[in-house]
Amino acid sequence: MMYRFLTLVWIFQVFFFHAHAQTNELPTISFRDFEIPNSPIVDSTSHAVVILEKGRSDIQVDESERELRVIHRYGVRIKILDKEGFDQANYIIPLYKIGNKFETVSQVKGYTHYIDGKIHTVEMDKGAVFHEKVNEFVNLSKFTLPNIAENCIIDIEYEIRSPDIFNYRTWKYQDDIPKLYSEYTAIIPAVYNYNVTLNGFYKLTDERSKLLKDHFLLNGRRFDCSQLTYIMEDIPAFHEESHMLAPKNYKSAINFELMQYYSTNGARQNLTKEWKDVDRELLNDRSFGGQINRENNFKHILPEILADGDSEEDKARKIYSYIKKQIKWNKIYGKYSQFGVKEALEKRNGNIGDINLALISACNAAGIETYPVLVSTRENGLPKTIHPVISDFNYLVAQVRMNGKSYFLDASEENLPFGLLPLRCINGNGRIIYSKKSSEWIKLENQVDASTHFDVFGKIDDTGQFKGKIRIFYEGLDALSRRNYIKKFSSLDAYIEERMNNSASMRIEDGKVYQLDSLDNTLMESYDINIDFSDNLREESFVFNPILINRMTKNPFNLEERNYPVDLGSKQRELYSISVRLPNGFNIERQPKNTALALPESAARYTYQSQYEEGSLILKQELSLNKAIYEVDEYFHLKEFYSRIIQHHKVDFAFTKQ
């Protein structure tokens, strides 16, 4: 990912200005707009293309509220290339709650243009816009443009009024369809000094700045203003692929963050703080540090759950188990406590902050060194590391330190074992907040690899019927994922029945699951199976592939170029141990070659070994991904690595009668 930093130097007072509203109308539609764009970014995978996109933001005074508002005007012209691009006409505008007020949208306009000898335009009815409340923080405005057809063009324009003057509004150059031209203009109030960052792979095509003399009238005086325009052209579509963090981490976009402003008396106010200031604020905050220090909440509880002679780890594990059972997660994230530790314990319900602050407080009460760790979840995006932005974090976990070891703990989920973080939390670095020294960045990672081991053994009789057993062993995140899936069923029997009903290639006759609730132990499934290979068995020959389950047939990496890392969340390992007894009298004629593949520096390894002796086929296969994150320059090698494995899996074993 590349960052550019642009410093805005225009600083002047603007608290009570009145700005002249300016519209951001799109140019008149022309026949030329209907021509298929001749651009390398538009190819057979493109179903629609943005011809032109323009945005403009400035700050105005809301006269009725006597408050500042950022006015965002937006216009986009999109050409629909085929039916798969029709969904571009289903438009959604998200509106966020800032403080105690929501953003509002107005002047929504939509037009559909098509050619029938001449250009016809159909305007969207004003009543087509409807509003939906998602939750207490997000509203949606939705509409669908009329008369959509292949090769039509749609125009969309609207205005958003936002109370968020601190971050302006992110301008997203890159999206899931290509864009020929995208232009954003920001008129920056001069009392404000914004840090402007451009993230993503693609660079700006052009930057323009203009001094607007006497642009605002304030208390009878006129002030200058800076107009900054950022242009990007020929922007390829962003293609999502397996094993990635939030797309917003990688899409080319420009962001504004208020760093400093001048008040009406001329005093400079700095909003960019140092971490020591944030640490102090957090530890003094009633909903954060105030909850950690509520050790009295556990004075009467600890003697009931701990025993004399318990080691520190015994104590930590018992407290972790107690908090998991005592406070059920209400599915709300948060770095702050929603109800407070005491009330959450009484209600037996709380958000992530309630749960993990209670865990930290209880461990501290037991004399165990434990600290809060601020986390930004994978879907929330990577936190900024250059300077503190507390709003980047939406989650909280604990770190326990004992006997020279450290463990990340999250007591929010029933099936999370001690020392394992859920995948949502594995997102770059977290910020650990100490009580007596400055906080620091800490890598969010699990010590246990995600691992699945398939153990298959059995016998094929003279009629081609295979009878045997499959055992599957799960560890790490693989075990967590499987336990969560199993627990969605009404009972273990219901899960096994679902396995029986959805195993198309084999018949499951009996099944058992072991150590489902023993979270610190390996999860195991065991099934008696029957597979009909009679179609493969001829009088003189027999062909089959012993990779009976989860055979790799599709490469998860298919992009020609991927400009963002492959993030697996943890190291991964997949093993197969197979032992199959064949009918009497067969010799091996063809088999996949024993092979060993490896990426540079053993970043990934694949081994395949088989042998056939005295009617028994023994096969061992292992795939080890020895890094949690593969960088952009490793992508081609990883893609080719998987392609070779898939080709290897296509080769069957062939046997002939003696």
Structure tokens at 657: 């009668």
In terms of Cβ atoms closer than 10 Å to its own Cβ (0-12, 13-18, 19+), residue 394 is: middle
DSSP codes joined into one string, 397-465: EEEEEETTEEEEE-TT-TTPPTT---GGG-SSEEEE--SSS--EEEE---SSPEEEEEEEEEEE-TTSE
pLDDT for the residue 181: 97
Count of CB atoms within 10 A of residue 649's CB?
A: 16
Distinct helix (H) and strand (E) counts, the chain: 9, 37
Give SS3 for 1: coil
- Give pairs for 610-617: CB < 8 Å, separation 24+: 610/653, 612/588, 612/653, 615/581, 615/582, 615/583, 615/584, 615/586, 616/579, 616/580, 616/581, 616/582, 617/546, 617/578, 617/579, 617/580, 617/581, 617/582, 617/588, 617/653
Q: Which residues of 102-125 are buried (b: 16+ CB within 10 A; e: fewer)?
A: bbebeebbbbbbbeeeeeeebebe
pLDDT for the residue 591: 92
CA–CA dist 84, 94 (Å, integer) = 23
**Among 579, 347, 356, CA closest to 455:** 579
Measured CA to CA in angstroms, residue 469 lies from 112, 226, 557 at distances of: 61, 73, 32
Is 66 in contact with 77 (CB distance < 8 Å)? no
Helices (H), 155-263: none
Measured CA to CA in angstroms, residue 378 lies from 100, 245, 322, 390 at distances of: 27, 6, 27, 16
Is 469 in contact with 529 (CB distance < 8 Å)? yes
Q: Residue 537 carries which DSSP code?
A: B
Is 230 in contact with 237 (CB distance < 8 Å)? no
192, containing H or E segment = strand 192-199
Q: What are phi and psi of 161, to 5 degrees?
A: -105, 120
Q: At what angle do helices 352-365 and 312-326 cross, to 10 degrees?
A: 150
pLDDT for the residue 221: 59
The conformational region for residue 415 under phi > 0 = left, psi -120 to 50 = alpha, else beta, is alpha
362, containing H or E segment = helix 352-365
Chain centre distance of CA 285: 29
Architecture per CATH, domain 275-443, reads as: Roll (3.10)
The 10s digit of each residue's pLDDT in 110-137 is 999 999 889 999 999 989 999 999 888 8
pLDDT for the residue 586: 87
The dotted CATH code for 4-270 is 2.60.40.3140
From the candidate CATH numbers 3.40.50.170, 1.10.10.10, 3.40.50.620, 2.60.120.1130, the one assigned to the domain spanning 450-657: 2.60.120.1130
pLDDT < 70 positions in the chain: 1-24, 62-66, 216-223, 262-267, 272
CA–CA dist 160, 156 (Å, integer) = 13
Measured CA to CA in angstroms, residue 168 lies from 174, 192, 259, 557 at distances of: 18, 11, 12, 36
Look-up of token digits 């008696």: 528
pTM for the predicted model, two decimal places: 0.85
Residues recorded for the chain:
658
pLDDT for the residue 3: 38
Is 144 in contact with 166 (CB distance < 8 Å)? no
Domain extents in the chain? 4-270, 275-443, 450-657
**Among 384, 393, 377, 380, CA closest to 433:** 393
Is 456 in contact with 549 (CB distance < 8 Å)? yes
